[in-house]
Amino acid sequence: MSYQVLARKWRPRTFATLVGQEHVVRALTNALESRRLHHAYLLTGTRGVGKTTLARILAKAINCETGITATPCGACSACLEIDAGRFVDLIEVDAATNTKVDEMRQLLESAVYVPTRGRFKVYVIDEVHMLSTSAFNAMLKTLEEPPEHIKFILATTEPQKIPVTVLSRCLQFNLKQMPVPAIVAHLERVLKEEGVPAETPALRLVAHAARGSMRDALSLIDQAIAYSGGHVTEASVRAMLGTVDTGYLFDLLEALARRDASATLAVADAMEARSLSFDDGLAELARILNRVALAQAAPEALPEDAPERERVTALGGVLDPEDVQLYYQIALNARADLALAPDEYTGFTMALMRMHAFAPETAGGRLALEPAREPAAVAPTRPSTAPFDWPAVARALKLTGAAKQLAERSELLAFDGEGVELAVPPESRALADKGYVEKLKSALAEHLGRPVRVTVRLAVVNGRTAAGVAEGERRARDEQASAQIDADPLVRELVAGFDATIESVKPVE
């Protein structure tokens, strides 16, 4: 007997065996049990999440010889023929190859005839967004006033391309991408039934590579079984997928914690020597940093079976939380920019050097990006009547662009006559760039008529900033204008006489 691939062999045949789409199953089950059946359904979602499978299960549910039911028997001739793909009243159409209006008209001409075998004639149109405008128009009349014996099940990966006139005539269900834990759990069940030993980390790698598609996961595990000779190990799956061994990435982060640029480059060279994907490396680096952030902020949220839990926890103890956030952001940005780099190695190593360059330091005259300390008692610390009105000064400075934003979004921590110490919120870290600080320093020196020091630190900003003051002034003007309008006798007369409402009020500048 010929081998049947796992994706076909383990295709769900009932609502109960469909994985990860409980919200759709619940709605359809309730509709079937109450006999509230719509004439057209639209199933949307990415590839491999169960759109066509769900359409076939629904076709069985309404055509099962035991009656309309949410639990088709799977043993009657209708159920067996639908599972085998030969039920005469289940018409499956690939819209990608039947896009023309004539083909759609020919298909719909048969809709007027009653079913040959089943209770309903079911039309499943896959990738329906591929139909031409004329073909959609040909469908509209049938969708609007369908015969009682007809059910349409439309499936698509791009619902935004479907005309609203069609969308409005369908019940729409959005199928979700499969979460990694759900894929891993399903693969474990499948391989247990198949008698194939597998390591859980290997299945987790497959689940990540499948990117939310259960069908892709089953196809990949088929490949992994063949590649590994029947014993699916983490090492064999990594080799098959070309994914990066996390050991390299933990070594990178440990070198970053030591501020050892040479060691990080040595790891990058080792990765290049093995022809590993630097794009995958940045993605996995971001995942590890996410787990490190969890270990620091909410250790209980880190799963007990998290990969390399001990090394993640150790990194959480030596990396500053702000460093973790910075490295994560750089990894994401570098991955997006990788295609623009001269080559992947250059893009990857430049990201590592950026992590070193922007890491908080207090020595060597570099801008100190560190949590704000409490200023000395002699310095004004966020008082409402500070002798140095930073919001007013910031608005008066001759600045543009990001340097202007730095001035207006920063808060004064201290001013000693010779220098200012400012705080910017962590989410505005980019504004603390050395170039912007230098522009602010020059503009402030010009404003004060003497050289001045400028120190910028990352801290929660909860006091007065120029942007905050401007927003407060705007709100006050709006409230004053609204009060004046409400008190105006003519406006009151109009509101009362015409049962009118005031939608918005804008003060005249």
Q: What is the CATH number of the domain that holds 215?
A: 1.10.8.60
Domain membership of residue 199 as a residue range: 180-241
Give the total number of structural domains in the chain: 4
CA distance 448 to 454: 13
What pLDDT score does 387 carry?
A: 52
Whether 16 and 128 map to the same domain: the answer is yes
Whether 265 and 280 map to the same domain: the answer is yes
What pLDDT score does 319 carry?
A: 86
Q: Is the pLDDT of residue 474 over 50?
A: yes
Residue 226 belongs to some domain of the structure: yes
What pLDDT score does 433 carry?
A: 82
What is the tens place of the pLDDT at every residue in 306-363?
667 788 888 888 888 888 998 999 999 999 889 899 999 999 999 999 998 886 553 3
Distances (CA, A) of 452 to 195, 377, 395, 442: 74, 21, 18, 8
Q: What is the CATH number of the domain that holds 403?
A: 3.30.300.150
Q: Taking the mean position of all CA atoms in its chain, how far away is CA 401? A: 30
CA distance 66 to 307: 48
What pLDDT score does 66 carry?
A: 92
Q: Is the pLDDT of residue 381 over 60?
A: no
Whether 405 and 302 map to the same domain: the answer is no
Residue 383 belongs to some domain of the structure: no
Whether 204 and 154 map to the same domain: the answer is no
Pairing of strands 453-458, 150-156: unpaired
Q: Is the pLDDT of residue 257 over 80?
A: yes
What is the tens place of the pLDDT at every residue in 107-123?
788 788 888 888 999 99
3-state secondary structure of 435: helix
Nearby residues of 14 by Cβ (< 8 Å), 6 or more positions away: 57, 71, 72, 74
What pLDDT score does 378 carry?
A: 31
**What dihedral do alpha carbons 130, 209, 197, 15 form, nearest 10°?**
-40
What share of the chain has pLDDT > 70, as a percent?
A: 88
Whether 82 and 25 map to the same domain: the answer is yes
Q: Is the pLDDT of residue 28 over 90?
A: yes
CA distance 494 to 68: 60
What pLDDT score does 480 carry?
A: 75
Q: Is the pLDDT of residue 63 over 90?
A: yes
What's the pTM value of the predicted model, to 2 decimals? 0.58
Whether 157 and 199 map to the same domain: the answer is no
Question: What Rg value do the Cα atoms of the chain yield, rounded?
Answer: 32
Candidates 58, 56, 62, 60; CA nearest to 75 is 60
Whether 25 and 114 map to the same domain: the answer is yes
Q: Is the pLDDT of residue 369 over 50?
A: no
Range in 190-199, 335-344, 411-420 the model is least confident about: 411-420
